[in-house]
């Protein structure tokens, strides 16, 4: 029993990773992955919205009539996104400015609506909450990997959050002075995503051969 | 900014797919053949133009006078959902074949970032009603152009030998990346040089 709950949590992180395996939520993934700190912030936002909306939709699954379920889910998700926007505006203004419009666009992130439709309206509250956390963390992981590749190659730095006197930026010697700029630009995002997807397909095909 | 300036901005300089990455899901999903790509493009252009106007009216007519700006996201997404439903009914009535071709992707326009994106951008940029309409139409046209170009590339790719690991989605992303490289030629200095700012 306990094992199955654990599985709901971990499946989203690697085996059903929303970005690399199910290919959902591409828009924010590509747009926000210019800096590691933005990717982490966006990821946390998605974990927050996804977990709470999964819990609420699971709670209300008997109340919401089947024919208007999608609009109802969208309203629930939009409410949590609004809460997130307000919280972030108040407590993390620099991150709020960096994410800009993509923060509001969490509403139309397919990961969240997809999980509501595919999981939360059929499963118990606990499982839905775990699924939300797992999928959210998987999304954060995927986003951070892409951001790491793009920031290291594109500007030769790794931007984390500023703590105390440290400005939160790790500079990589050699790359920081002569970065491969195109990776940080919009074209680079698409190229990196294509290569990563090819890598995951290749890994899957190898696994298939072993079996 | 002049109306032509707005058109050029959202079709070329800030192309929604290749620069802002809004609407990547349908871009990858529906670009397999050019006829459904055109259908999707037309549907999205229609929805972005209409929702830009309606969302502008909702924001300045209902939300702003009562100090309810924070309800922006919720009210916009409801407007969009209603408009998409309308478009779906119209297409089903007048063109059942197009309706079949667009299939699952039509309801998905609701969750197309481009539609909500342009509605929010219009408000953030402080456009007036007509400018919002032009920006919405331009964003839709930019989307249509990118998706039609992509579908032509993919039809050619069908006939080319591609390594097994790159087949399908990966090569699509890489082609889109190369397209985006070409689009880097259109940057904001283009607007200044043409005197459109």
Tell me which of B103 and A175 has the higher pLDDT. Answer: A175
Neighbouring C-alpha atoms within 13 Å toward the C-beta of A195: 13
Structure confidence at residue A1 (pLDDT): 47
Spatial separation of the C-alpha atoms in residues A76 and B55, rounded to whole Å: 20
Report which DSSP code applies to A171: E
Using an 8 Å Cβ cutoff, are B142 and B15 in contact? yes
pLDDT for residue B19 is more than 90 = no
CB contact under 8 A, B111 and A105: no
For chain A, the structural domain boundaries read 2-206
CB contact under 8 A, B165 and A202: yes
Spatial separation of the C-alpha atoms in residues A125 and A131, rounded to whole Å: 10
Q: Which residues of chain A have pLDDT under 70?
A: 1-3, 164-165, 210-211
- Segment B51-96, tens digit of pLDDT: 999 999 999 999 999 988 888 989 999 898 888 888 788 888 888 8
- Mean per-residue pLDDT, B166-195: 86
Spatial separation of the C-alpha atoms in residues A88 and A108, rounded to whole Å: 18
- With cut-offs at 50, 70 and 90, classify the pLDDT of residue B110: confident
Spatial separation of the C-alpha atoms in residues A115 and B135, rounded to whole Å: 32
Using an 8 Å Cβ cutoff, are A57 and A85 in contact? no
- With cut-offs at 50, 70 and 90, classify the pLDDT of residue B1: low
- Segment B123-164, tens digit of pLDDT: 999 999 999 999 999 999 999 999 999 999 999 988 888 888
Spatial separation of the C-alpha atoms in residues A36 and A28, rounded to whole Å: 13
Q: Which helix (H) or strand (E) holds A101?
A: helix A101-104
Structure confidence at residue B92 (pLDDT): 84
Spatial separation of the C-alpha atoms in residues B143 and B141, rounded to whole Å: 5
Long-range contacts at B100-104 (CB < 8 A, ≥ 24 apart): B101/B35, B101/B36, B101/B39, B102/B30, B102/B36, B102/B39, B102/B40, B102/B43
Distance from the A123 Cα atom to the nearest Cα atom in chain B, whole angstroms:
23
* Preferred mutation among A38, A106, A187, A208 to probe B, highest tally of B CBs within 10 A: A187
Which residues in chain B have their CB less than 8 angstroms from residue A74's CB? Answer: 77-78, 81, 110-111
């Amino acid at each position: 029993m306990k094992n199955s709950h654990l599985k709901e949590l971990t499946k989203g992180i690697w085996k059903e990773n929303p970005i690399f395996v199910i290919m959902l939520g591409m828009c924010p993934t590509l747009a926000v992955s210019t800096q590691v700190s933005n990717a982490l912030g966006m990821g946390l936002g998605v974990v927050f919205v996804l977990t709470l909306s999964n819990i609420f939709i699971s709670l209300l699954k008997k109340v919401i009539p089947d024919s208007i379920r999608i609009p109802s889910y969208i309203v629930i998700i939009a409410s949590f996104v609004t809460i997130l926007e307000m919280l972030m505006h108040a407590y993390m203004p620099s991150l709020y400015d960096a994410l800009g419009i993509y923060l509001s666009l969490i509403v139309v992130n397919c990961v969240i609506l997809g999980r509501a439709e595919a999981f939360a309206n059929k499963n118990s509250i606990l499982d839905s909450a775990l699924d939300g956390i797992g999928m959210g963390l998987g999304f954060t992981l995927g986003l951070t990997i892409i951001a790491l590749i793009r920031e290291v190659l594109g500007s030769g730095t790794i931007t984390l959050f500023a703590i105390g006197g440290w400005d939160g930026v790790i500079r990589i010697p050699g790359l920081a002075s002569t970065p491969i700029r195109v990776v940080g630009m919009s074209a680079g995002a698409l190229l990196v995503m294509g290569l990563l997807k090819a890598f995951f397909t290749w890994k899957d095909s190898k696994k298939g051969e072993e079996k | 900014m002049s109306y032509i300036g707005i058109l050029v901005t959202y079709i070329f300089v800030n192309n929604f797919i290749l620069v802002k990455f809004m609407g990547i899901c349908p871009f990858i999903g529906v670009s397999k053949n050019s006829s459904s790509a055109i259908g999707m493009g037309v549907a999205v252009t229609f929805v972005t133009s209409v929702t830009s106007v309606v969302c502008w009216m909702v924001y300045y007519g209902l939300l702003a006078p009562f100090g309810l700006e924070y309800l922006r996201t919720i009210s916009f997404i409801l407007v969009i959902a209603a408009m998409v439903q309308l478009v779906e009914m119209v297409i089903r009535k007048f063109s059942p074949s197009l309706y079949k071709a667009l299939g699952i992707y039509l309801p998905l326009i609701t969750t197309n970032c481009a539609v909500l994106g342009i509605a929010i951008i219009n408000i953030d940029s402080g456009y007036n009603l007509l400018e919002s309409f032009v920006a919405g139409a331009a964003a839709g046209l930019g989307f249509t152009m990118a998706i039609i170009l992509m579908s032509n590339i993919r039809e050619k790719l069908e006939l080319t030998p591609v390594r097994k690991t790159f087949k399908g989605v990966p090569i699509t992303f890489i082609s889109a990346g190369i397209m985006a490289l070409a689009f880097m030629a259109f940057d904001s200095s283009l607007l200044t040089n043409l005197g459109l700012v």
